[in-house]
Amino acid sequence: MSTELKETQDAHGEETMLSTEPVLTGLLGEFADVSAVVSAAQKTRAAGYKVWDVHSPFPIHGIDAVIGIRPTVLPWLVLCGGLTGLATGLALQWFCNAFDYQIIVSGKPMFSLPANVPIIFECTVLFSALTTVFGMLGLNRLPLLYNPMFKSARFRRVTDDKFFIWIDESDSQFDEKGTEEFLKSVGATVVERIED
């Protein structure tokens, strides 16, 4: 295959050459069953790989601990969103009733907390829900409409009956030959190069 080059201009207006040749993005190891992929995941973490993942057709109990995934920060974001909603609802009710548009109704006080609890509650729920949705999307870097693994015919079986370990090329431990041998040594039936 010949290497094609394309001329482009960078931010300073200088012409640069970009290769359109496929670039290795990582290696994908296929495993036959759950116990094989969990065992391989333990060995992968022990080997010092940092940028890797396990893909399976169903959730595997305890795989997060095996991979070493830290607990998410999302609950703290939702708490902050809820407290922001609470403060916003309270401030809105105080501004509208006690400051901007004061009306005395049956001798009641201009601002009374019990009368404003429903609005405060609804604002808390609204802000929490919006923080949950957009926080989850942001933390997961979604929507991710493209992944080089989508080109792999083997990887399509991840939604059916196959298990995979992906080791990214950006990992400091990554060496194409060494990583391929490692995946085979931990039980991968097939190791596939993924290019983009």
Predicted pLDDT at 97: 84
Least confident of 19-23, 40-44, 133-137, 143-147: 19-23
Region 7-13 average pLDDT: 56
Higher pLDDT, 10 or 118: 118
Residue 1: what pLDDT? 42
CA angle at residue 137 from 136 to 138, to 5 degrees? 90
**Cα four-point dihedral sign 16, 22, 23, 25:** positive
Tokens at 180, concatenated: 């391929």
pLDDT in tens, 123-182: 999 999 999 999 999 999 899 889 899 999 999 999 999 999 999 999 999 999 999 999
Q: What is the pLDDT of residue 2?
A: 43
- Name the residue among 174, 182, 52 with its Cα closest to residue 191: 182
For the chain, what are the domain ranges? 74-139
Q: Comparing C-alpha atoms, which of 1, 29, 52, 23 is closest to residue 196?
A: 23
Confidence of residue 8 (pLDDT cuts 50, 70, 90): low
Please say if the pLDDT value at position 122 is more than 90: yes
Global pTM value: 0.71
Give the integer Cα–Cα distance in Å for 67 and 39.
11
Give the alpha-carbon dihedral of 45, 47, 51, 55, to 10 degrees: -50
Q: Are 56 and 37 in contact (CB under 8 A)?
A: yes
3-state class (DSSP) for residue 193: strand
Hey, what amino acid is at 48? G
Could you give the 3-state DSSP secondary structure of residue 26?
Answer: strand
Mean pLDDT value of segment 29-38: 95
Task: Write out pLDDT tens, residues 62-118.
Answer: 999 999 999 999 999 999 999 999 999 999 999 988 888 888 777 778 888 888 899
Task: Specify the pLDDT at position 15.
Answer: 61
> Over 90: is that where the pLDDT of 3 sits?
no
Task: List alpha helices for the chain, DSSP H.
Answer: 34-46, 63-67, 74-94, 113-139, 176-185
CB 127 within 8 A of CB 65: no
Give the integer Cα–Cα distance in Å for 67 and 88.
40
Rounded CA gap, 120 and 85, in Å? Answer: 7
